[in-house]
Structures are given as C-alpha cells and as structure tokens.
Chain A
Amino acid sequence: MCLRVCCLLLCALSLTGCSSIEPWVKPYERAHLADPIMNFDRDPVSGAYITHVYQAREAARGAEGGHGGGCGCN
C-alpha cells in the first residue's frame, strides 16, 4: 500500500514537473549539438557492421545504441 502511494505521488510530481520544464538550452544555442560530429550514429551501416563484429565474438549483447536524436535541431 505504501509503495503504491509512493508511486502515485511520484507520478503526480513528475507530471506536474513536466508541464513546467523550460528548455535550458534554447533552439538558437544548439548549433554545436547539430554538428554531424556530435551524432552518436553518424554512419549507421558502419556502426551496424562493427556491432556485428563484436557480437559474434563476445558473450555480451544489446544496448549498443545508435539512437541519435535528442539535440532538438530539426
């Protein structure tokens, strides 16, 4: 019960917070973030190949990334 109340409170707080979050990096300040050298996955074909090279030789797998995005530069 206590856990459920805590979860509800957290959800309520996070929703309240969402509506008041102001971007602290303005769109006109994102020139560096938009530079291709800041892209996590600039060359997806090359990235997929290197991921395959490691996956075939290691037990670890997953969370290799390549999501990009987030800079809000569009």
Chain B
Amino acid sequence: MAPKADTGAAVAVTSQVAGRLAGVALLCHSLGLQAGVLPDDRADALYHSYEGGGVEITGPSLMVLKKVGQNVAFNGNYYVDSISSASIDVITSGASAYAEDRNELSGGVDYMHGNSIMSLSYTNSSEDDYEANTASFGISMDMFGNMTTVSMGYARGWDTVMNNLDSAFARDADRQNYKLGLTQVITKDMLLELNYEGITDEGFLNNPYRSVRYLDPGGNSYSYEAEIYPNTRTSSALAVRSVYYLPYRAAVSGEYRFFTDTWGIDAHNVNIGYTHPLQGGWMLEGNYRYYTQNAADFYSDLFPFQGAQNFMARDKELSMFTSHTFGVKLSYDILKNGWRSIDKGTVNLAWDHILFDYENFRDLRVATPVPGDEPLYSFSADVVQLFVSVWF
C-alpha cells in the first residue's frame, strides 16, 4: 500500500496548481477580442514540452475558430498536460515519481454588433484529484474613429479539490475575475495597451498534500506538518504593453506588469521582444523576460517550532524568487498560394529557456548538520512549442 499512497500524494504536488489556474489561462483567449472585427477562421495544432526541475510536461493543444455568418464566431480548444514528475517537492517529501494527465476542454461564442463584440465561454479542466469549471463573459468596443478599444470581462470559477489518499475529501474553491482593458493607437507606428485584472478566491486554497517544516526542540533536526493557507485571497494586476513598428519592416515590443495581493506578495515583470521578418517567408523573434516577487506573509522555509503560526506555507511559488527567460521563435509561411479551402498557413518553432533562482527556499536534498544551512534552490527549464496554424 505504501508505494500507492506515495504516488497519490505526489500527484497533487503540482496538479493542484495546474488545475486551479487552468480556467484563468484560457480566459486570455476567451476575453481576447479585437473589437469591431471577428477573428479570422483559423485552426491551430500545437505540441508543447516543458522540462525542468525534474518535471516533464508534454501534450497537444488544438484550437478552431470559425465564423458562422457575418456576426457570429465559434471557438473550441482541447488541451492536455501529460505530467511526469520527480520534482524537488516530490523527492523531499519521500514520495515516488508519478505520472498523470490533465484534460481541458473549452468552447465559446463571439457575437458582433456594430463596433462591439460580446463573448461567452466555458472551460472544464479535469484531473483525478482536481476539477475546475470556469464561465466567462466579455465585451469590447471600438470608439473614437477606431483609435481606441475598451474591453471588460467577468469570469466565475468553481473548483473542487480532492485527495487521492482520502476518497471522502472534497473541498470547494470559488474564483471571480474582473478585467478591464484599453488599447490605444498612439501614432501610425505605435500601439499601447493597458490591462487591469482583479481576482478573488474563496475556499480551500492550499494543497491537501503539501507540508511545511519546523525545527525540532534542540534545533538539530526538523519535522513536517500540514500547511495551512487563508481561505480567501484577492489580487490585482496592472499591465502596460506597447509595440512599435520600426522604419524597416520589424517590430519591438515592451511590457511591464505590477501585481499585488492580500497575502503580502508583490511582483513585477518586464518583457522586451523583437520581431523580424526575413526573406522567403521566414520570420524570427526574440524576447527576454524578467520576473521577481517577494514571499507571502505566512511563508517560511523553516518555522521555529510546531504550530508557529495560524497560517503556514512552504510552497516555493509563494517564496521570494526571480526568474529570467530567454526566448527565440522561428516561423515559416506555408501554402502561400493557398490550397483548396485553406488561404495560408504557418509552421512555428519556439524555445524558451527559463532560469529560476529562489532566495528563501532551500534545497533539502542536501543534508547539513544544522537545519536552515542547506543551499538555496535553483533550476532551469526548457519550454518548446511546435505548432501549425492555418487560416481558411
């Protein structure tokens, strides 16, 4: 029985995070409207691969956008995460490496009326110990001679957290998202975008398997106890983005986002990108992203004694850390003259290399005479995407 229990415990170490955020990630698309014009009919088939920190996640993402008449467009997306994990969380908890799948299905409809587009969408994400459902509504409108696009969105999520070690365990976590967006033409070569998003969570927000560590009496060893999170969280994020057309056919882009929440976390990220079309239908892109956050108020790598606080976390995603991403993407136009009902297509290969450096999360794989002297944890990850897009 022990190996089975270990595997079960390990499963949720990352799956909880993935499932909880599934609906939110898809909102980017469901609310990502271009007012005054419906999206072009297109289909995308993407294979994704993430490898880093002992974790491998691969799978497909398939999407279709199709107009019906002049004013209505439907979209659907099928996404899979096939996870194989022997992460530091799994190893240091004494659990075995595990494998599991997360399946996500979403569908939506856009309706255009004049210069406005309204959208509705629904997403379901399913794992063996996490179920997430999200419904969203959005509206966007062009104004001032199509110089300005204003958008608003609302989403509601209903999640159920389960536990592979306890079949009777089931807790709810509800989520609401409020989005505001403004896209502005600045000059004939420059666009500016402002986005705000507020998110509120209520319910069981921590991982039922994860533990925190605390010093034993005497201070020469440590033990574990279950983590405890607050059952509410409210966050705000404000982002500004811009893209500029260079004198030759190329574009530079920049982004800054500020994030803050009621758990005491502040985060900043900046991103710069460059897009350069080449001869023969090729296009090359490069980008760099820097991210930094401080730790949650109730985070500690090592608590001084058992039950030291009302709320306790030792989740490295809530610790203080920075990351650097270096990305490159190559695209090639295919079917330049069309083929049957297909107008055009592209083949794309993207690679991102991410470096994570934790400032108060220690690597417990290294034993030291005194707890708390372990080296700080760091790792790198490679994210690869290969996808084909066709417009019809």
Interface of A with B (CB < 8 Å)? Answer: 18, 21-25, 27, 29-30, 32-33, 35, 37-38, 40-41, 43-74
Contact = CB atoms under 8 A, between A and B. Distances in A.
Contact of A67 (B149, B259, B296): B149
Q: How large is the interface on B (under 10, 10 to 19, 20 to 34, 35 or more residues)?
A: 35 or more
Contact of A63 (B196, B275, B293, B387): B196
A70 B237 CA distance: 21
Interface string B326-370: 000000000000000000000010101000100000000000000
Tell me the dominant secondary structure on chain B's binding face: strand
Contact of B249 (A27, A35, A55, A72): A35
Contact of A41 (B32, B77, B269, B323): B32
Given A45-B61, A60-B291, A68 B144 contact: no
Contacts of B33: 67-69
Contacts of B261: 59
Nearest to A23: B145
B63 interface: yes
15 contacts: A23-B144, A37-B250, A43-B389, A46-B44, A49-B79, A50-B352, A56-B18, A58-B267, A58-B317, A60-B267, A61-B21, A62-B199, A65-B255, A69-B151, A72-B146
A29 B17 CA distance: 46
Contact of A18 (B144, B352, B387): B144
A73 B75 CA distance: 22
B130 interface: no
B41 interface: no
Given A45-B387, A72-B145, A74-B36, A40 B243 contact: yes
B189 interface: yes
B61 A59 contact: no
Contacts of A50: 352, 383, 385
Interface in B132-153: 140, 142-149, 151
